[in-house]
Chains A and B, each alone.
Chain A
Amino acid sequence: MRLAGFLLFVVGVTVASCFAARAVTPEPAVKGALPTPGERLGAWWDAAGIPFSGGMLLVVMGGVLARRKPKAGSAKTTGSAEEAPGPVAVLAQITEELASLPADAVPANAVGIRDRLEDILERDVPAFLAHRLELIDRMGLGKFAEMISLFASMERNAARAWSALTDEVLDEVPQCLERAKNAGSSARELLERGLGVEKASA
């Protein structure tokens, strides 16, 4: 059904665009006067209005069909051992990794912490964000926005900790890590609640 919607949508956009580009030469009501915007629109509508409307109808039908949600349970949530991990599993991995960072012993572990933060930011964050559309679909935009705001706060604080470690300003790092952990945990809670996932399954 989604494929049919996509095809209708593409055909509709194509038809509507072709007729939107239709050139017209409006005849002003008063001879010698400049054509008004209304006269220009009217001339275009007379020449291309019906096929354009047909194209728009296909766009609407295709868009509605393409937006239909997949059957419940068809999307993966946690992921199994054989397949790529789902968003809940990835976020769980991120929060556990952040929790395991030795924030109280930064000077002795600076390089190690920075490498692990880099792994989170460059491997795990993109892996989680790859599920963005699926999550919007399943959680709804409002709940997704709430969750992703916290996720972004986690991301930004982890990045700040990475920058501070690079700049060797170590007193900045523990508070950034603390904020990243808190934001990550809150995002995880919202995600699990939004998807109706039992905590244990993560």
Chain B
Amino acid sequence: MSSYREVTAGAVVLGIVLGMLMTAAFVYIGLKLGFGLPGSTVSAIVGFALLRGVGRKAFKVVGCGSIVENNINQTIASGVNTASAGVVFTFPALLLLGEDYSFPTILLAAIAGSFMGIVIIVPLRKQLIEIERLKFPTGVAVATILKSPGAGVQKAKLLGYGFAFAASLTLATNERFHLIPETIPIGGWIKDLLGVGDTGGAALALLGTALSLSMANIGAGLLSGRGGLPFALGGILAWWIVGPFVVSQGWAPAGLAGDALVGTVYGTMLRPVGIGVLIGGALAGVVAAFPAIRGAISSLAAASKLAKMSGGLSEELSPRVLGVGLAGSFVALLVVALVGGAGSGLSSATAVTVAVAGSVWIAVAGLIVAQATGATDISPLSGLALIAVTLILAITSGNVLLAVTIGIAVCIATNQCSDMMTDLKTGHLIGGIPRRQQIVQFSVAWVGPAIAIGTVMLLWSGGEGGINGFGPKSVACAEKLPGCLPAPQASVLEGMVKGVLSGDAPVDKYVSGAFIGAGLTLFPIGGLGVLFGLAMYLPFEITLGYGIGCTITIIIEKLKGQRYVSDVIVPVAAGLIVGEALTALTLTLITLATGGGGGGH
């Protein structure tokens, strides 16, 4: 029996406590400011301070805070925290829409989604991490932090330089200081220089071309290198060829110019096609990779059998546990559909269809999000949640309550998929045992949804008469008080639901995009459909920054070799990702503490 500390009471308790605190805090931040924050880097650093620092020095626990123990801490903390982003995007929309919801049903849907996300993605670990070798930039960044005690002075310095640079730039672009803009409008400058007008294809190409100064984004590109280049090329195709072509053909509404033209072409043409490409690419990718996936799943069973025979433990969760988890989650979703639909006279057959469609969509969306996060660190969560809502609205002939409830499950499940894979990537790099990470994340899957939903309900009931505690109609927001929580993401989903109900869902673009995504899998580069779809789905400022990161790594690798990339680029890029995340979190907390954000909305 080795004395190497990995799954310990300290790591588990600290992970749960950190995860709960982050979940409650990030739900509040999401309602206030409209964005989520990553939890892995924060918990890895706090874990070092508490487990390695306090545990070893104050409590004299020998070997406390080992690299693999801290990995368990960050796996649990980030696993609990995944619920915050999923809940804050969906559940508040239900409240804003004035639906008569049932708390136990919502909680059951959220918990079912949380478990289902894990059991669906675990069998794909070998496929995504070992066979496809996806980068998972945040996973690499967290592994770099965890390995820092043994990485040597030079790498620690490089990590520090990256951190300092990203922190400085985040401060400089923050609205408090606003020393430099967050986005550089490169195309806009060229447009003015050349005297191009505000209408037409050329104007669209130039106005759409901007560069986000997000160092986390550029850092993700640096870590991805050549593998991420198709993503950048997809952005170029979308914004320099497809967009201008569409405008030149007169397909964009007449009379639009400048930013309105860019917003319309992006929102009603490029983005919906991008969602379709993502779906088609992911589904066809599963078919193309079927031999490897089948091999990976049968190796799970074989490893489990072999471990049982030899009296040891398999490195992965056994297929039986995964099967039970999947069946349990499905039954929970079915109960949600039956109970949720009962009030509106939904037939049992329709409820079963809702549960099956929700589960299938969770699998598809989970795979898409895991692949997208693995390749680029970016998750197309809102688009996938919208598809889930659209799908269930279509099946139930407009049952908003059930559609958004299933949307909650989908959002949480897909976040679990990307978080589980990111954590497993970190584990792979530091020598963690996958089974242990999977067990701890599975064991605490119910905690995050309960905290996130509880926090939302608490804040909602803070309004007059126990309702309207947040949202544009809340008293605090209407009177522009500092306590206003505008819930911007939920307002977006509320608008989307209303759009779908009015027949505005761009089904044609989803379907045609799905065919393109499927076609892209024919090319002998894995994951091309997901990368290309994501490029169309995102604004060009993100794709361009990421592409610059990829290009820098490709050039440096050519000039200096792969070892130089491992020794220099990886720690710098990890520093950029961590530096931006922690600085943004600190600034957000300062903003909230000083009464800023949301009050003026």
Contacts and interface: CB of A to CB of B under 8 A. Distances in A.
Interface of A: 9, 12-14, 16-24, 28, 34-37, 40-41, 43-45, 48, 52, 56, 59-60, 62-64, 66-67, 114, 122-123, 126-127, 129-130, 132-133, 137, 140-142, 144-146, 148-149, 151-153, 155-169, 171-172, 175-176
Interface stretch (B174-182, B349-357, B561-569): B561-569
Given A56-B519, A169-B3, A172-B3, 14 more contacts: A20-B513, A21-B243, A37-B505, A37-B507, A41-B508, A44-B508, A59-B516, A129-B133, A133-B524, A140-B291, A145-B291, A155-B428, A157-B431, A158-B431
19 contacts: A14-B237, A17-B536, A20-B509, A21-B243, A40-B508, A60-B522, A62-B522, A66-B522, A122-B566, A126-B562, A144-B292, A145-B292, A149-B296, A160-B68, A160-B433, A163-B67, A164-B4, A171-B2, A171-B4
A142 B294 CA distance: 9
A166 B251 contact: no
B59 interface: no
A52 B515 CA distance: 10
Given A23-B268, A60-B519, A52 B512 contact: yes
Interface of B: 2-5, 63, 66-68, 126-127, 129-131, 133, 147, 149-150, 237-238, 241-243, 245-246, 249, 251-253, 268-270, 273, 276, 289, 291-292, 294-296, 299, 315, 394, 428-433, 502-503, 505-509, 511-513, 515-516, 519-520, 522-525, 532, 536, 562-563, 565-567
Give the interface SS of chain A, mostly helix, strand, loop or mixed.
Answer: helix
A194 B519 CA distance: 29
A152 B515 CA distance: 34
Nearest to B65: A167
Given A14-B237, A18-B242, A153 B2 contact: no
Contacts of B394: 37
A175 B433 CA distance: 14
A34 B506 CA distance: 13
A5 to B, nearest CB: 9
A73 B13 CA distance: 57
B292 A14 contact: no
A41 B253 CA distance: 19
A9 to B, nearest CB: 6
B296 A17 contact: no
A172 B277 CA distance: 47
A32 to B, nearest CB: 11
Contacts of B515: 16, 20, 52, 56
Nearest to B565: A126
Closest 4 CB pairs of A and B: A160-B431, A63-B522, A166-B150, A34-B503
Contacts of A52: 512, 515
A20 B516 contact: yes
Contact of B242 (A14, A60, A144): A14
Contact of B562 (A45, A130, A133, A155): A130
A143 to B, nearest CB: 9
A163 B522 contact: no
Contact of B292 (A17, A67, A141, A166): A141
B563 A123 contact: yes
A12 B329 CA distance: 41
Contacts of A137: 524
Contacts of A157: 431
B371 to A, nearest CB: 16
B150 A23 contact: no
Contacts, number: 202
Q: Which of B252, B394, B566 has the most CB of A within 10 A?
A: B566
A149 B315 CA distance: 12
A21 B130 contact: no
Contacts of A60: 519, 522
Q: Which of B68, B129, B433, B567 has the most CB of A within 10 A?
A: B68
Contacts of B270: 21
A140 B430 CA distance: 29
Contacts of A141: 131, 289, 291-292
Contacts of A12: 519
Contacts of B429: 159
Given A20-B513, A155-B428, A132 B133 contact: yes
Contacts of A162: 150, 431
A163 B70 CA distance: 12
Contacts of B315: 153
A35 B503 contact: yes
Q: Which of A24, A44, A159 has the most CB of B within 10 A?
A: A159
Contact of A159 (B129, B428, B511): B428
Contact of B523 (A19, A66, A152): A66
Nearest to B394: A37
B295 to A, nearest CB: 4
Given A44-B508, A166-B150, A17 B291 contact: no
A144 to B, nearest CB: 7
A59 B522 contact: yes
Given A37-B507, A40-B507, A21 B273 contact: yes
Contact of A59 (B4, B127, B512, B520): B520
Nearest to A6: B523
Nearest to A153: B315
A164 B503 CA distance: 59
Contacts of A159: 428-431
Contacts of B299: 146, 149
Contacts of A126: 562-563, 565-566
B516 A17 contact: yes
Q: Which of A20, A24, A163 has the most CB of B within 10 A?
A: A20
B63 A167 contact: yes
A38 B310 CA distance: 57
A60 B273 CA distance: 19
Contact of A149 (B130, B428, B507, B566): B130
A130 B251 CA distance: 44
B428 A21 contact: no
A88 B343 CA distance: 65
Contact of A41 (B147, B507, B532, B536): B507
Given A129-B133, A149-B130, A159-B428, A172 B251 contact: no
Contact of B508 (A9, A24, A66, A122): A24
B190 to A, nearest CB: 23
Given A22-B246, A123-B563, A17 B237 contact: yes
Given A9-B523, A13-B237, A16-B519, A166 B269 contact: no
Contacts of A167: 4, 63, 66-67, 149-150
